[in-house]
């Protein structure tokens, strides 16, 4: 079951991408959070934070 989500932008492979942050779980309980590319719908992992 997919619950509520949030649209955000994060760097993926050094390129900013629109991502959907989606809570996934059962019976109304968010068991984990997944990031999906908002354009392609594929799972995405943001780049680790950098010290500038």
Q: What is the pLDDT of residues 1-52, one digit of tens each?
A: 445 678 999 999 999 999 998 888 777 777 788 899 999 999 999 898 888 7
Q: What is the pLDDT of residue 17?
A: 94
E strands, the chain, in order: 2-12, 15-26, 29-37
pTM score over 0.85: no
Edge-to-edge strands of the sheet including 2-12? 2-12, 15-26, 29-37
Say how far apart CA 36 and CA 5 lie, in whole Å: 10
Q: What is the pLDDT of residue 3?
A: 52
């Amino acid at each position: 079951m997919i619950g509520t989500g949030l649209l955000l932008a994060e760097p993926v492979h050094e390129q900013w991408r629109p991502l959907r942050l989606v809570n996934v779980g059962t019976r109304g309980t968010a068991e984990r959070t997944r990031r999906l590319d908002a354009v392609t719908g594929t799972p995405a992992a943001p780049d680790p934070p950098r010290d500038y």
